[in-house]
Structure 1
């Protein structure tokens, strides 16, 4: 709608104002905000495609009009001329065809005069006339040129704008985090980690991303709820909000927002609770399995027991390293 009303003229400031106005009613999700620049580029390219299709059709209509004019001017037989023109009654309603045919028949010859009478008669059937279609065609060409210029400038602007800065300027989530925490003091990678965590938490809960951010702030002690249920700033900031989003106290936030962990998350968390035993036991079991298989293979070759024991002792370290590498591959 913004692109349509602005005739494909894009302004970063105006675009920001429109997004902020929309978010005054309903905050956009983080992913939706990141997608807006790509969506804007897509809309501009789509408008350019439509203009290209219109230009191609205009060329076709002009070519048809030129062919008709050539045939009409080349024949002196009235019946043949009327037969030629009657085949293009539908084309006469097209402003490009009619304008080009008028241009070609301007020489004032008798054949041209008869063709002009036919064309004017066809235009009168739709309540139009030659002057009106010429004005309409020129207006279409002019507006197309303006729109094309706006699209090209808009695409250049999209490439020139730092959309990361733009995003952080319009994001309601970034705004509330900057106002109530030390979010602005973090580097971009850390801020992006916070946003990713908020997206993940909101996706598996019944709260919006904005409410998840507010809940994290409340738990961190940066905001509290007054008697009316409104969030207000408090002076205590004993814990950073990152502890609840990406740190060790995330489970508290998940419980507060009703987060539903996935099956893989549940398995990983259960595994982490086992501590060092969760690593030692599987690696030891895999190493033992490799040694048993190797011992059986050596026994089948007819080696003596002392030789097998010696070979397995030498193979123990490589087997444990292989087991550890396999374990890391599986769990990572």
Structure 2
């Protein structure tokens, strides 16, 4: 299936001639072996392995530095290691930070080893002289034709590739310097159940020369540091492909944090029900298609909103204890919060009371101590309860749409400033504020408007009213002349006249700020509104959806 190896004088392979299609064939073969992998607890070898690799890399570095100081001839691998040692340190740190024990235990395993670790090791060892960006996605996609990976595995893949690249560097160093490792090479450390796959690959595919191991590993680490892993995930995740069929057509336009929260919710469901992540994703699409248009037509409604209970019932989901406790706390938030503060305050006051009594204080002194301790003790109780809540109940992030590339026409938005026109200096300040909003959001689907009233008065009109409106109009026209284009005038003025308010016993804008916003929304819906001055491109308003 794969090309034969080219072997050097010492029996070590010199050069790999593996092609991309050959690696994809190997990935398909591995899928048949790893298809039965399931999430189970296994030995978390990462911390111990990182410490061993770190010690060995430091020893190799000191060896080469000593050789250079004594003017001993060193191999080219020494230059690679010394010049790029920061890359190795960075990789060690990233692996430690990005793969905690709890996360590793959720990964599917076979014979005690994580499946994704075996795949990463295969790709690094048998991909030729170094990893290539095109290999990463094609290898994983080929494997998933017969053996889909979980969301957790795909996110762990970059970490495992870094670790496998470090292993490759260590293998090369051991072949060229007289420093023996105190740990087995990663290839030998694979479980017996995987030997068939790796034996096939090892016997059929060439490896780089020993000195090239170091360069290949470092080049791979540098490649991994520059990859856009979000794009990789979107390309390779089968769950992502299914969710993009969202009937509401909203999922694909959401930001990466929101989409990641949806994937996390699916992971949580898969861990506690008899269905896989892919089956859950298909169920989500079916539920969304069964409902009417609106928010219930969106997959997120069933994942993180009111439809979650309906989804869980269909999946026979059994909520773990921690989730049941969190939900109970959310349902009883107010009594739990206030009750916890009260109970903790009473406990701390009781401690102060008991201390004063034990110290032999008089009854009056005990009462004074108890009363004086109430305020600081209650503040301490509030702080402790807030600290506990933040750690027990993580914040829930609201779903967001991704508008980095601009706001689509269907989400056209008006940015408005409700205000009073009191004097000309205030008009100038309002126009300046509106201009700053525009400069921070120069999107073609944003409009910027002043919603204004006159200040309260004892009569309907005042002598200066007309002058203030003219100043505001002139300012809006200047801004449109400065920033507008032939088909776009982004600035607006909507002004109302005073109305008699018998309750306030004065002439004023109806309902002030709330009234301006209410009437502006009525205007957007083509309903009657009380704006006597409407300056700007009113055709733009017809497509506005948000204020």
TM-score bracket, normalised by the shorter chain, equals 0.5 to 0.7
SS of the residue 1:206 aligns to: coil
Greater shift, 37-46 or 291-300, is seen at 291-300
For residues 127 and 351 of structure 2, the distance between their equivalents in structure 1, rounded to whole angstroms, comes to: 74
The answer (yes or no) to whether the contact 2:243–2:251 under 8 Å persists in 1 is: yes
The one-character-per-residue Cα deviations of 1:9-60 (angstroms, maximum 9, x if unpaired) are: 4222232122112212222111111222232333333333333333348xxx
- 1:258-297 matches, within 5 Å, as 258-297=316-355
Q: Kindly indicate which of the two structures has a greater share of residues assigned to strand.
A: 2
Which of 166, 170, 176 is the aligned partner of 2:232? Answer: 166
Which residue of structure 2 lines up, in the alignment, with residue 205 of structure 1? 273
Which residue of structure 1 lines up, in the alignment, with residue 362 of structure 2? 303
Structure 2: where are the runs of 5+ without partners? 1-121, 179-205, 393-547
Which residue of structure 2 lines up, in the alignment, with residue 7 of structure 1? 128
- 1:1-332 matches, within 5 Å, as 1-56=122-177, 143-144=209-210, 150-180=216-246, 181-219=249-287, 221=288, 223=289, 236=293, 238-239=295-296, 240-299=298-357, 301-305=360-364, 308-331=366-389, 332=392
SS of the residue 2:380 aligns to: helix
Please give the TM-score of this superposition, normalised by the length of structure 1. 0.61
The answer (yes or no) to whether the contact 2:329–2:336 under 8 Å persists in 1 is: yes
Please give the TM-score of this superposition, normalised by the length of structure 2. 0.39
The answer (yes or no) to whether the contact 1:8–1:154 under 8 Å persists in 2 is: no
For residues 327 and 191 of structure 1, the distance between their equivalents in structure 2, rounded to whole angstroms, comes to: 31
The answer (yes or no) to whether the contact 1:30–1:199 under 8 Å persists in 2 is: yes
For residues 208 and 383 of structure 2, the distance between their equivalents in structure 1, rounded to whole angstroms, comes to: 68
The answer (yes or no) to whether the contact 2:176–2:211 under 8 Å persists in 1 is: no
Structure 1 residues 161 and 280: CA distance shift in structure 2, 3 A:
closer
Structure 1 residues 310 and 25: CA distance shift in structure 2, 3 A:
same
Structure 1 residues 40 and 281: CA distance shift in structure 2, 3 A:
closer
The answer (yes or no) to whether the contact 2:171–2:213 under 8 Å persists in 1 is: no
Structure 1 residues 195 and 8: CA distance shift in structure 2, 3 A:
farther
Larger radius of gyration: 1
The answer (yes or no) to whether the contact 2:154–2:233 under 8 Å persists in 1 is: yes
Count of paired positions: 238
Q: Kindly indicate which of the two structures has a greater share of residues assigned to helix.
A: 1
Task: Give the RMSD, CA atoms, in angstroms.
Answer: 3.2
Which residue of structure 1 lines up, in the alignment, with residue 83 of structure 2? none
Higher relative contact order (CA 8 A, sep 6+): 1
For residues 196 and 25 of structure 1, the distance between their equivalents in structure 2, rounded to whole angstroms, comes to: 23
Q: Offset of 1:276 from its aligned partner?
A: 1.8
For residues 23 and 141 of structure 1, the distance between their equivalents in structure 2, rounded to whole angstroms, comes to: 25
SS of the residue 2:270 aligns to: helix
Structure 1: where are the runs of 5+ without partners? 58-139, 225-233
For residues 142 and 211 of structure 1, the distance between their equivalents in structure 2, rounded to whole angstroms, comes to: 41
For residues 143 and 278 of structure 1, the distance between their equivalents in structure 2, rounded to whole angstroms, comes to: 65
Which residue of structure 2 lines up, in the alignment, with residue 68 of structure 1? none
